[in-house]
Amino acid sequence: MRLSDHDKALLAGDQGRAAQLAMEALVQLGEAYDAPDMVDIGYAHVHAGMALYKGDVELIEATAEQGARMVVPVSTNIANADMGDWHSTGAPDSLGQLQKRAEAAHRAMGSATSFTCTPYWAGHWPTWNMHIASIESGVTVFANSVLGARANRDGFFAVYAGMTGRYPRFGLHLNANRQATHRVRVTAPPRGTADFTALGYAIGTAVRNGVPLITGLPFRPGLDDLDALGVGMATSGGVAMFILPGVTPPYDSDADAAGLPEVAIAEADLQQVFDGFCTGDETGFDLVHLGCPHASFEEMKHYAALFAGRRIAEGVEVWVTTNRVVRQMARDAGLLAPLLAAGAKVVSDTCPISCHFARTCSPDASLGVTPPKIRTILVDSAKQAHYVRDMIQCPTLFTSSERAVESAISGRFVPRARQND
């Protein structure tokens, strides 16, 4: 792999031990993928340091103590506790305080402590052809597809990229890999972001790690729709980029899909996703979760309107999750008041699958974290439904946002309306 003089200086330790170790890791990554050289990155979305794993926080702290400093704009991914009010979610003090230690380490390194899976709603908006690094698959697919930036699905390497401003040129950083591999024809127009997550989930299941070119939508999707579509694909498959002709860059026409394998997604395929995630007790759900990925300001307006003047049923808990910036904007706009008056909790920094509910992790015994017993979680996102099954290991119910709110108010599950209903 060809290295620039700057790369070699980092490897020699000219910018300190932390940057040297980061560059060594990036060189190893590049060599593993036969990268020809390194690219300059303009932004990184990095690992939070997860408090459910004490050693994970200690790694972030050690990195900061070595003198690590971010040399490009950096946002932090979702964490294990709402650091502003973990008590409202039932998280123990030990977990919240440990998560605050990771926050302090990130601040010392110069990271923006956003702690969200949707940093773009918090103002981190990489631009056309900008190389970036991202630990979060939803950020990767949104950046590649909607913004025209260039990103792979990274792990801790995103931290190293933020510390050096460099990343190996492979994967979707190469033009050759940013071409459609499948043509997907949609015959069931999605209605709302829940449908778009289901559509994405169905597409991801079909194309796996491919780059789908999607046709057949009768309207131009909004930003929230595109966000939901991408996270659905990234959840069921390894999709990191999709193309909607005339909507997303590079604005490929249908002709560019000639000869590609074809996939058709009909109403039955969407309904199959919803039905597959409806295995819980329809009158025994403990939690209704809205906002996966973390809700945008527009989604907060929608949720506030749905709950206005109403009251959540006794025995039902509702979480609306969003990032810190959007929560503050929603507070300033008067959107939190109707949600809180209805009995909902507005949570930032974390979500059900990333908090102390998770059963798939092995937290340090000293933290005293015991996942609560949860019968069923009702959601309006295929991504959340998928990971609730995997990480909380409890049944789910999946419906539209509007009907999730109706379910929370009535205490009885209201399923999604089929297209022919």
Task: Name the token pair of 187.
Answer: 């015959």
SS3 352: helix
CATH 3.40.1180.10 matches 277-410? no
Q: Which among 145, 131, 172 has a CA at the least distance from the CA of 45?
A: 131
80-87 contacts, C-beta under 8 A, 24 or more apart: 80/48, 80/50, 80/51, 80/52, 80/350, 80/354, 80/355, 80/356, 81/51, 81/349, 81/350, 81/355, 81/356, 82/347, 82/348, 82/349, 82/350, 82/355, 83/115, 83/349, 84/324, 84/348, 84/349
pLDDT recorded at residue 192? 96
Q: Residues of CATH 3.30.499.10 domain(s) within the chain? A: 277-410
Instruction: Please state the rounded mean pLDDT for residues 174-188.
Output: 95
pLDDT recorded at residue 250? 76
Which residue bears the tokens 């439904």? 385
> Residue 251: which pLDDT band, with cuts at 50, 70 and 90?
low
Task: Name the token pair of 331.
Answer: 């507070």
- Provide the whole-model pTM: 0.96
Per-residue pLDDT tens over the stretch 132-170:
999 999 999 999 999 999 999 999 999 999 999 999 999
pLDDT recorded at residue 420? 65
pLDDT recorded at residue 110? 98
Instruction: Please state the rounded mean pLDDT for residues 263-279.
Output: 97
Give yes or no for residue 257 having a pLDDT over 90: no
> Residue 362: which pLDDT band, with cuts at 50, 70 and 90?
low
Q: Which among 411, 413, 385 has a CA at the least distance from the CA of 276?
A: 385
Cβ 253 vs Cβ 245: under 8 Å? yes
CATH class of 5-175: alpha beta
